Chains A and B, each alone.
Chain A
């Protein structure tokens, strides 16, 4: 059973629908016990980083930490990826899970002297795909995925793929069983479905 965490940040329907379409059983939850006992965890989310404050308030942060420590595969999507870092300048008083170092920051207003529109909305390509990534297995470099966000995570050794917009940012992050994607796999056509299938099959 995949536990899909509901923290009132946007629409869960699309993520659940895609997982079910691929044959996975899902359960939408806000319960720390469900999260502790999960086979797999998905943390979706669009919108504002401060919504993740609810994860702390509902004691889901500690439950997630425990599940991750015993090897449960975890996938954060969009704000769900950003939550894996120390935090985001979008909501400075709300801490992330701190599974990865660094803070998420807003896209710069300009890049190489040209104005940069924000949010970054649309289909952009995956680059620098790490060959050992379990999550991105079978997804070719240059594959297009769908983004909609204004904050982004820094590139580090745990980055599994990058995308370029105002410079490179972390498109996917992966260390052992902890994974995240900044794009929306549930809205990224075949490449997105392949990624979700990879996660389901872990």
Chain B
């Protein structure tokens, strides 16, 4: 049976994993390669590494970090942050990434999705969407809006519309981060995740708000009110040993969620 995936996310700045609390108070959480291997051994189904500074000067550091991390990592490995061209993507694939995650650059030039897919396959392109509900709209969830530039800039695009376009342009997966729930540890945005998941055929990875096993069970649920997510991503709950993936998945199994154990 196809299982629901738990994805451990490493936010990397200048070659170190960092974790911010509400975007300030950045704490050093360790070495990316070391943490990736620890997560893999602790049962994570995939690793995502996001270069949160993504400056031009930092590209060399990123490539080196990807190489070191990928060297002995034998589960799927995604790299995102600052990938603006098919050449940028190629350099991280050659360094050992299996997939790339693109966000602002796909909004700026949607053709990029197909360009990367043409060389490395659709499965290698994740389109990341930062989403915020539109509280004043008639349908606050259905009219949720896409934000770029690290959540600072609204685009006027509806999340569901952009997800559909990304799929049509050849995205392999959607990584949906809810800015409303991100960092709160009060649960994922199940309603928004379900809307997106039901609008596209490709897998949807839920992100933002992971706090405990019940939150994952809810976002994975295909029942009415569930998030219909195919995978879910979390960062901080793993870094400081709050839980590991095996423990999380054992709990999910008790909730009737299919997981890899």
Contact = CB atoms under 8 A, between A and B. Distances in A.
Listed residue (B5, B40, B123) with the most chain A CB atoms within 10 angstroms of its CB: B123
A8 B198 CA distance: 34
B121 A146 contact: no
Nearest to A13: B96
A13 B73 CA distance: 12
Given A11-B98, A124-B2, A164-B1, A189 B40 contact: yes
Contact of A186 (B1, B74, B93): B74
A143 to B, nearest CB: 10
Interface string B103-130: 0000000000000000111111000000
Which secondary structure dominates where chain A touches chain B? mixed
A146 to B, nearest CB: 6
B157 interface: no
Contacts of A188: 74-75
Contacts of B201: 117-118
Interface in A123-171: 123-125, 144, 146, 148-149, 164-165
B230 interface: yes
A13 B94 contact: yes
A148 B172 contact: yes
Contacts of B93: 11, 13
B72 A144 contact: no
B74 A148 contact: no
Contacts of B173: 121
Contact of B123 (A18, A121, A123): A121
Q: Place the interface of chain B in its size category.
A: 20 to 34
B2 A11 contact: no
B74 A47 contact: no
B151 interface: no
A108 interface: no
A119 B74 contact: no
A123 B96 contact: no
Interface of A: 8-11, 13-14, 17-18, 21, 46-48, 117-125, 144, 146, 148-149, 164-165, 184, 186-189, 192-193
Interface of B: 1-5, 40, 45, 70-72, 74-76, 93-96, 98, 119-124, 172-173, 201-203, 230-231, 260
Given A144-B3, A144-B260, A187-B74, 9 more contacts: A9-B121, A17-B96, A21-B72, A117-B202, A122-B203, A124-B1, A124-B3, A165-B2, A187-B75
